Amino acid sequence: MNASLYNRSRIQHRRTIGLVLAGFLTIALIAGYFIYRQYQLSAWHFARLREYWEDPEHHQDWALQSGERCGDAPFLSPTDGFVAFFYGDRYRNGRLHQGVDIFGPTGPNGLGQTPVVAAYDGYLTRMPDWHASVILRIPDDPLHPGRQIWLYYTHMADSEGHSFILSEFPAGTFEKFIPAGTLLGHQGNYSADPLNPTGMHLHFSIVLDDGNGSFRNELEFINTVDPSPYLGIELNAAHIGKQIAHCTKTLD
């Protein structure tokens, strides 16, 4: 290889390395921006949550009301309270939030007081080892006819696992028909770790069917769907920004 060809090869190699490094830097900057933006939005929503808890009566327009319907949305609100975590919010470990977290007006110590209701007619199951959770099977998705979906509710117990689910739905309940608006239990802070409770709220998510008549793993984001169109309220983290999640439509 002559000297001229060797030098051109070295220059081309350096350019390639430079382009690769520039690409990595661009990706890092974009990722950093989104992480920073997510942190800022989460901090903003936490600040609003503190305001709501300090004076919930003054901020009733910030809150969802259990059993109420927003406009012509198919689902009723599953509980009372302020939405502080949204569908698609990103956790520190990179995981995406699979549903919405609704914090009741009684504050972090108001365990077992804020009602939780069925958002739609369905068939309730509470697995034998579930202290704080129930799931409702909806045979016919109102927005996608012919598709079966499941409504998952959790954190309805205290940190020690003492359940706030109504006694009508004991552990081991399977396929009990529940009309929309039926009281299921009350918000709690159960996390399966008594030393690390979640904070008093309801986690609500819509889970896809596994194709065999059961529900998919709710912990995987890909197995869930955006609840926004079902509740008639913007609940998607990618769209909500610094907005309060509440009904802006005229109620029927």
pLDDT digit string (tens) for 172-211? 999 999 999 999 999 999 998 888 888 899 999 999 999 9
Q: Which domain holds residue 63?
A: 36-240
Distance of CA 211 to the CA centre of its chain: 23
Residue 4 pLDDT grade (very low, low, confident, very high; cuts 50, 70, 90): low
Q: Mind listing the pLDDT tens digit for each residue in 21-45? A: 444 443 333 333 333 344 445 688 8
Residue 179 falls inside a structural domain: yes
What is the CB neighbour count within 10 angstroms for residue 156? Answer: 30
Does some domain include residue 27?
no
Q: In this structure, what CATH number is given to the domain that contains residue 100?
A: 2.70.70.10
Residue 105 forms part of a structural domain:
yes
Task: Specify if 126 maps to a domain.
Answer: yes
Q: What is the pLDDT, as a whole number, of residue 2?
A: 60
Residues in the chain: 252
- Inside any domain, residue 249: no
For 3, the token pair is: 């000297």
Confidence at residue 63, expressed as pLDDT on a 0 to 100 scale: 92
Tally of domains within the chain: 1
Cβ contacts of 233 within 8 Å, gap of 6 or more = 64, 70, 73, 245, 246, 247
The reply to whether 31 falls in a domain is no
**Does residue 22 lie within any of the structural domains?**
no
Q: Does residue 26 belong to any structural domain of this protein?
A: no
Tell me the whole-structure pTM to 2 decimals. Answer: 0.83
